[in-house]
Amino acid sequence: MGERIIVAGGAGYIGSHVCVSLLDAGYSLMVIDNFANSHPESLSRVRQISGVNDPDRLTLVEADFARPEDRARIIDAICSFRPAGAIHLAGLKAVGESVAEPARYYATNINATFGLIEGLEAAGARQLVFSSSATVYGDLNANPISEAGRTGPTNPYGHTKLMIEQMLTDLTRADERWRVCNLRYFNPVGAHPSGLIGEDPNDIPNNLFPFIAQVAVGRRETLQIYGDDYPTPDGTGVRDYIHVCDLARGHLRALEFLSDGANGGAHVFNLGTGIGYSVKQVRDAFAVAAGRAIASQIAPRRHGDVAENYADAHLAAEKLNWTAEKTLAEMCADHWRWQSQNPNGFAG
Ligand code: UFG
């Protein structure tokens, strides 16, 4: 049996894909999730995709790091699992909501991290891969963005990501047994090619791909394109979209990297493709994948958006031996398969 890994937030969109990657690579997992923005069904689907029926390969602790009454139970569960380390994806992630409810964002995201650190300390498992975000670069206008670029989040969600990166880095400075990878995701999209797991937003989607997918499936009328007067080739915003399965594989490589004795300390890696696509390019690629037109109209710019944002992904290629492989067409085809097979997400 392979190593044992905690996946905090493992039932969520990215977490469920990470679970599939790790199970396929032979790891045994303990998922800790409170299902605040996820569904237990996603873990049943993970089992189905991976063909893992042995409960010891994938166990679930339904608990909330932020609830004091859950804390001891989580720490006991982590200790009895005897993990080698953890992947930390537990947290709230909506930019706009974080502006409206900053206290909830700081309390939830920071407390989840404290709880996980406490559990890992108690279990003597000091390897952690953290789900950070390119949002830590804020409005840095220096594309492609490298890890050396200055940070400066522009919203509370981004601040929590940067604060957690700092906390974890400080742990590695205080105690050399700690090893950390902070993974700065660009724009995760797509779904597992099986169509069994994918992103299942609770409300009206904020992000481009889920919104387009809901227009394509008939749940929404029209895509609003937020601005067509940016200094980009077609005037619409440009982003570095990365297939969630490529992203998940990046976590596997980060775990392998940390378990190599030579790689102590804290490390930061961008996970992106290095290629930027505009809103119109994405709309058109999705229309091809779905075999239907996506109705759209130009709307004013969205407050806080930047014109262009894409990664310099060389460091991950060099150190993690990882590069994104899937094309925009595959991102759209896989996202569409998930959406069309599950028009209402996991709720059925
Ligand atoms: N867009 C539209 N219409 C929509 C939604 C989005 O035109 O309905 C545009 C945006 O203006 C932007 C692009 O599509 O140009 C991508 O927008 P997303 O909301 O999908 O993604 P963002 O780049 O704004 O933000 C994402 C995540 C954040 C994360 C950030 C990291 O949502 O959590 O990437 O850079 F912090």
First to last CA, the chain: 34
Residues 6+ positions from 54 with CB-CB distance below 8 Å:
none
CA 270 – ligand 1 centroid, Å: 17
CA 212 – ligand 1 centroid, Å: 12
Residues 6+ positions from 220 with CB-CB distance below 8 Å:
204, 211, 214
pLDDT for residue 203: 82
Bridge partners of 187, per DSSP, are: 241
The HSE-up count of residue 47 (CA atoms within 13 Å, CB side) is: 15
**Residues 108-149 pLDDT 10s:** 999 999 999 999 999 999 999 999 999 999 988 899 999 999
Coil, strand or helix at 96? helix
pLDDT for residue 301: 96
Q: What does DSSP assign to residue 135?
A: G
Residue type, 157: Y
**Residues 295-310 pLDDT 10s:** 999 999 998 899 999 9
pLDDT for residue 348: 72
Is the distance from CB of 236 to CB of 228 less than 8 angstroms?
yes
Q: Whose CA is nearest to atom 24 of ligand 1?
A: 305
**Residues 77-116 pLDDT 10s:** 999 999 999 999 999 999 999 999 999 999 999 999 999 9
pLDDT for residue 347: 85
Alpha-carbon span 109 to 107, nearest angstrom: 6
Mutational test site, ligand 1, from 98, 143, 207, max ligand atoms within 8 Å of CB: 207
Q: Which residue has the higher pLDDT, 68 or 13?
A: 13
* H-helix or E-strand spanning residue 181: strand 179-185
CA 227 – ligand 1 centroid, Å: 12
Coil, strand or helix at 28? strand
Choice among 45-49, 127-131, 217-221 with the minimum mean pLDDT: 217-221
Angle at 185 between CA 180 and CA 186, to 5 degrees: 155
| Stated length of the chain | 348
Q: Whose CA is nearest to atom 18 of ligand 1?
A: 207
Alpha-carbon span 153 to 301, nearest angstrom: 19
Query: Closest by alpha carbon to 290, among 243, 229, 325, 335?
Result: 335
In this structure, the dihedral spanned by the alpha carbons of residues 255, 173, 32 and 325, taken in order and rounded to 10 degrees, is -30
Mean pLDDT computed over 180-188: 98
Q: Whose CA is nearest to atom 1 of ligand 1?
A: 208
Alpha-carbon span 239 to 223, nearest angstrom: 17
φ, ψ of residue 161 in degrees (nearest 5): -60, -45
pLDDT for residue 304: 84
* H-helix or E-strand spanning residue 279: helix 279-290
- Alpha helix stretches (DSSP H) within 9-146: 13-24, 41-50, 68-81, 95-100, 102-123
Distances in whole angstroms, Cα of residue 175 to Cα of each of 24, 69, 118, 273: 32, 29, 14, 33
Question: Is the pLDDT assigned to residue 16 strictly greater than 70?
Answer: yes
Is the distance from CB of 197 to CB of 20 less than 8 angstroms?
yes
Question: Is the pLDDT assigned to residue 1 strictly greater than 60?
Answer: no
The mean of the pLDDT values for the chain is 96
Over its C-alpha atoms, the chain yields an Rg (Å, rounded) of: 19
Mean pLDDT computed over 275-296: 98
Quick one: which atom of ligand 1 is closest to the CA of 137? 35
* Statement: the pTM of the whole predicted model exceeds 0.95: yes
Quick one: which atom of ligand 1 is closest to the CA of 304? 24
CA 306 – ligand 1 centroid, Å: 9
Residues with CB under 6 A from ligand 1: 93, 95, 133-135, 187, 206-208, 211, 223-226, 237, 239, 279, 302, 305, 309
Question: Is the pLDDT assigned to residue 158 strictly greater than 60?
Answer: yes
- Does 144 sit behind a cis peptide bond, omega within 30 degrees of 0 on the bond before it? yes
Q: Does 226 qualify as catalytic in the annotation?
A: no
Among 105, 157, 185, 230, the one annotated catalytic: 157
CA 55 – ligand 1 centroid, Å: 37
Mean pLDDT computed over 193-222: 94
CA 34 – ligand 1 centroid, Å: 26
φ, ψ of residue 84 in degrees (nearest 5): -85, -25
Question: Is the pLDDT assigned to residue 75 strictly greater than 60?
Answer: yes
Mutational test site, ligand 1, from 182, 281, 302, 306, max ligand atoms within 8 Å of CB: 302
